[in-house]
Structure 1
Amino acid sequence: MSQEETTEAVSSDFEAKLNVFLQKKGKSVEDVRTIVTPASMPSAVTNEGLIAALGQTRERYTPPSYEGVGYRKLRFFSGIQPTPVGEDDFESWMDQAVQMMEEWQCSDIMKRQRLAESLRGPASDVIRSIRVSKPSAGAMEYLHALDDIYGTTESEEDLCVRFCTTYQEEGEKLSQYVCRLEKLLHKVLVKKGILASRLDQVRMEQILKGACSGNLIALKLQLSDSRQNPPSFSKLVRDIREEED
């Protein structure tokens, strides 16, 4: 069933329940229209109870939000060692989480919910503690907290140096180099060594600096407007692989 069909079905269900509710109150849909029109404000005051009840009924049967329908879910992570079957180790989970944070086209509240849904056991307790101590904490703060407990002990400075001195190896495809570089960039981000808004720019600058001399695809990127208007990671890799094929 499509989103439109689902919404229509839920709306019809609400209307049916609304009619039943009104009949029990000895009211009709016309009475509701009278209540909510400006000309009837004096009489509306006498129907405050009905208005409140209608509001509660509407909240109960309002169609759910379809924000991000069909999104890619994260695999589970619990922080338990050895890693249980069906879960990711922390590094794998974090790599995917950072990538999804870029791909998910939704609010930060929804991102927090999706991150929390992928956590189990001790890792879930970490987020539960943050929610209590700092209710306003954003999704990236969730990742920072998890990294403090389960992540690498390398400092922000060490990771930045590693990232800036990582070059394409002889015989390595440019797309493979970009993916290898991305893992380091994720670690720098989680360690607060870079702002999320700067990811695309910093990634492109290092690719152009670190690609093997004479790499034709890198040269093409250099001559395009990619330095000034860098694409996202997924689009960049897709474009590079199309060139490699």
Structure 2
Amino acid sequence: RCGAQLGPIGPIGLRPALEPTPSGEETFEVWRDSALTAVDDWPGSGPALCCKIQESLRGPTLDLIKLHREVCPQDGPEKLIELLEDTYGPVEDEIEMLYKFQSCMQKDNESLSKYLKRLQQMLKLLVCRSIIATDRVDSM
């Protein structure tokens, strides 16, 4: 069930960075990783997943996605996640992000499938932020 995987992220990015995430809310990064996994595993159509993503939001994040879906109804779930990443995601240097990806190692006791999913999500983020071109993905 997608709705269970995507918890509310509320007004992420509007709180001071030092303020802890309120009880019951996920950090943006946790929510994003869950959403990216849901996109990969979702058996239904793109519009249905867009609705699930929208249902998992509240506050300014919900307003942003509602407005975007009104203006660009053709955009799929990946575009919605990209929009939230651009708006609420951490600001990282391109070189730092590329280095993180290239030096990523499998953690102790981490299953191979989880490690590969983590790599895939990092790679998607690099493409999403136009750090690497889609035609270079296979060579990474």
TM-score band (shorter)? 0.7 to 0.9
CA contact (8 A) 1:79 1:89 kept: no
CA contact (8 A) 2:104 2:119 kept: no
Q: Distance in 2 between matches of 1:134 and 1:157?
A: 31
By how many angstroms is 1:129 displaced? 2.1
Instruction: Name the aligned partner's letter for residue 151 of structure 1.
Output: G
SS at match of 2:23: coil
Match of 1:136 among 57, 62, 74: 74
SS at match of 1:154: coil
Could you tell me which residue of structure 1 aligns to residue 105 of structure 2?
167
Match of 1:183 among 98, 118, 127: 118
Could you tell me which residue of structure 2 aligns to residue 75 of structure 1?
7
CA contact (8 A) 2:54 2:65 kept: yes
- Give the share of equivalent positions with the same residue, in percent: 29
CA contact (8 A) 2:101 2:122 kept: no
For the pair shown, the structure with the greater C-alpha radius of gyration is 1
1:178-211 Cα shifts (integer Å, max 9, x gaps): 635643532431342576xx7xxx6xx98xxxxx
Instruction: Name the aligned partner's letter for residue 10 of structure 2.
Output: S
TM-score, normalised to structure 2's length?
0.73
Change in 2 beyond 3 A, CA 1:194/1:138: farther
Q: Does residue 110 of structure 1 match 2:48? A: yes
Change in 2 beyond 3 A, CA 1:181/1:164: farther
Change in 2 beyond 3 A, CA 1:129/1:101: same
By how many angstroms is 1:174 displaced? 5.1
Instruction: Name the aligned partner's letter for residue 76 of structure 1.
Output: P
1:34-79 Cα shifts (integer Å, max 9, x gaps): xxxxxxxxxxxxxxxxxxxxxxxxxxxxxxxxxxxxx242111113
Q: Distance in 2 between matches of 1:173 and 1:155?
A: 29
Instruction: Name the aligned partner's letter for residue 131 of structure 1.
Output: R
By how many angstroms is 1:158 displaced? 3.6
SS at match of 1:85: coil
Count of residue pairs the alignment pairs up: 126
Q: Distance in 1 between matches of 2:119 and 2:94?
A: 11
Q: Distance in 2 between matches of 1:157 and 1:184?
A: 16
Q: Does residue 123 of structure 1 match 2:58? A: no
Change in 2 beyond 3 A, CA 1:132/1:122: same
TM-score, normalised to structure 1's length?
0.44
Unpaired runs of 5+ in structure 1?
Answer: 1-70, 207-245
Change in 2 beyond 3 A, CA 1:187/1:167: closer
Q: Per chain length, whose mean CA-contact separation is higher, i.e. which structure has more relative contact order (CA < 8 Å, sep 6+)?
A: 2
CA contact (8 A) 1:108 1:138 kept: yes
